[in-house]
A and B are shown apart, each in its own frame.
Chain A
């Protein structure tokens, strides 16, 4: 056991603040790091210590392993929490931290490496009996072989480049007639893009649902699950709304899913918090997609339905603690939904909208949590992820969580930059969403309906009222009145 007294948070924005808050509750000092444009970022203002990393571009700051380790040594921290993104799943970083004699709050470098490899992780999962998308990751060398494999797993299939990524060298094949030309183009594209023409075939899962399982393990080989999260509302393959529990699976599927997730984690000696991602097809079959070896953006959803503070558990596990016994008996109670507030314009294909936040009001009231990375007057920089905050709402059931989310959004205002707020308001009123009737294609299919302009009869009235007040010609006497009210209230009087 090594007591952690000081933690460097190698991240920025809302997640850095989230981790700093956990440290503060544990009586641990926090060290923020920042790039030149982040000197006045909220995570810096919240930290006990702050050190400069360098210029704004991530490669020179938040991705600079050498510099971060140097700062950590200078600040004499016991541990580094990587958050998500940036260096969170970088095995070299985890190794560099450990080599410097500092605790890396996360799994081992070896585990990060194994799960970072598409091929290695798939082989491990197949070996321990976690379902993977049917197919083969052995290279397919000829069209005859491709035909045989495709017929065995059934159309439609996906031809993928072994060295691939980003959709390059990837072809969907609907039936055998398409196979030959798809096989050739995928191979040549793979050769052109990666210098390696090797391709493999797997079953194409049309418009699946994305459901993942939060797991947590200690360094003594104990792994538990903290239930699932439904994450099918996505844009550009990135999650926008997540919820727990999933509205679309039954308890039998749920049990099988949890068993698979724990099995997956045990297979790679996983410790600390992690997430096993699965896809569900229309028939309710699920397949291993990948494992995220870090804290997940949407972890608060799980925190709301379980009452577990995942970040605090991460720190305790890194100190060498065993999983607390009560964690093994955690139940899932009620329903939680998370909304990722992006500085993006859904009407312009989610183009980023950096800029100054001129007015900001977060919702209060019960069962609403804001994990924020910005404040009024802060200028959202152009260099980093457009996620500015997350709103998480809890209800006794899904309906109450939806109603409550709408109420919370009623009180939320962000001016100066365009955000995804209006999109959330529209989704929460959409019948398909309300009924839980969606998959990963939901936003692509429904976006235009959800963002369409509506007439607002009152616009001229609103504009006139604003213009008048903007000219500051209004209400000298009423402002005085207002001050008077405030004075009276402060001395307990009444008007």
Chain B
């Protein structure tokens, strides 16, 4: 997952990778951070980095993706843009009767298509790369199955919610 995080005067481009068991590896500003994060309840999570340092984080998110994040010492307000965030909701709403229709989470350009029709894919596999806001977003499938149809070609500009790939879920 790729994010753009905008603070008051700073902007970070962040790459987030899931490791096992709530583990994450975040690459930001050329540095790697490894940590484990676990939600406590709505609006709160506990984070432990690989030195064992624990942080209890509380937060609120507004509709326009403005985050307020509080640590024990101080609160921060920032804007998080995630090109993939909408993908999750597109997935669930489109999966009807064993068919999963992947839609474009945001407007952008298809940089690369990694699969072809008839191909078997596993959950988590990258289907295509969508370029938006100068970020390359790897779009994964949340379901295993067979590629039914690819609606787009590399280089095509797509709009938000446009159908990209259809998968027959196995």
Contacts and interface: CB of A to CB of B under 8 A. Distances in A.
Interface string A449-467: 0000111101111111111
B164 interface: no
A459 B76 contact: yes
B160 interface: no
A465 B37 contact: yes
B12 A459 contact: yes
B142 to A, nearest CB: 9
B64 interface: no
Interface stretch (B53-61, B94-102, B108-116): B53-61
Nearest to B74: A422
Nearest to B53: A458
Interface in B125-150: none
B157 to A, nearest CB: 26
Contacts of A410: 72-73
Interface residues of A, number: 36
B14 interface: yes
Interface stretch (A70-78, A176-184, A472-480): A472-480
B35 A460 contact: no
Contact of B14 (A415, A460, A479): A460
B88 A465 contact: no
A462 B57 CA distance: 8
B12 A359 contact: no
Given A466-B59, A467-B80, A468-B16, A456 B74 contact: yes
A453 B24 CA distance: 27
Contacts of A471: 85, 88
Contacts of A364: none
A190 B124 CA distance: 76
B152 interface: no
A334 B41 CA distance: 38
Contacts of B90: none
Interface in B1-55: 1, 3, 5, 7-10, 12, 14, 16, 18, 21-22, 24, 26, 28-29, 33, 35, 37-39, 42-45, 47, 49, 55
Contacts of B159: none
A461 B47 contact: yes
B78 A463 contact: yes
A253 interface: no
B47 A460 contact: no
B38 to A, nearest CB: 6
Contacts of A470: 61
A117 interface: no
A465 B57 contact: yes
Nearest to A411: B72
Contacts of A465: 24, 35, 37, 45, 47, 57
A415 B43 contact: yes
A121 B147 CA distance: 87
B4 to A, nearest CB: 10
Contact of B24 (A422, A456, A464): A464
Contacts of B29: 460
Given A410-B72, A413-B58, A469-B37, A464 B47 contact: no
A425 B74 contact: yes
Contacts of B35: 461, 465
B170 interface: no
A454 B38 CA distance: 26
Given A359-B60, A413-B58, A415-B60, A467 B82 contact: yes
Contacts of A479: 39
B93 interface: no
Given A413-B70, A466-B45, A460 B12 contact: yes
A425 B28 CA distance: 28
B22 A463 contact: no
| Most A C-beta atoms less than 10 A away, residue of B21, B42, B43, B78 | B43
B8 A474 contact: no
Contacts of A464: 1, 3, 14, 16, 24, 26
A359 to B, nearest CB: 4
A95 B154 CA distance: 83
B69 interface: yes
A474 B60 contact: no
A325 to B, nearest CB: 46
Contacts of B14: 460, 463-464
Given A359-B60, A416-B60, A425-B74, A466 B28 contact: no
Contacts of B85: 467, 471
A456 B76 contact: yes
B72 to A, nearest CB: 4
Interface string A324-340: 00000000000000000
A361 interface: yes
Given A459-B69, A461-B47, A466-B45, A361 B39 contact: no
Interface in A407-423: 409-411, 413, 415-416, 418, 421-422
A222 B24 CA distance: 68
Contacts of B61: 466, 470
B133 to A, nearest CB: 16
B68 interface: yes
7 contacts: A411-B72, A415-B60, A453-B8, A461-B28, A462-B59, A463-B14, A478-B22
Interface of A: 358-359, 361, 409-411, 413, 415-416, 418, 421-422, 425, 453-456, 458-471, 473-475, 478-479
The 10 closest A-B pairs by CB, nearest first: A460-B28, A359-B43, A465-B37, A415-B60, A410-B72, A469-B39, A413-B58, A464-B16, A460-B14, A460-B12
Given A466-B61, A467-B16, 18 more contacts: A359-B60, A361-B58, A415-B68, A416-B60, A453-B8, A459-B76, A460-B12, A461-B47, A462-B57, A462-B59, A462-B76, A463-B14, A463-B78, A466-B80, A467-B1, A467-B82, A473-B88, A478-B21
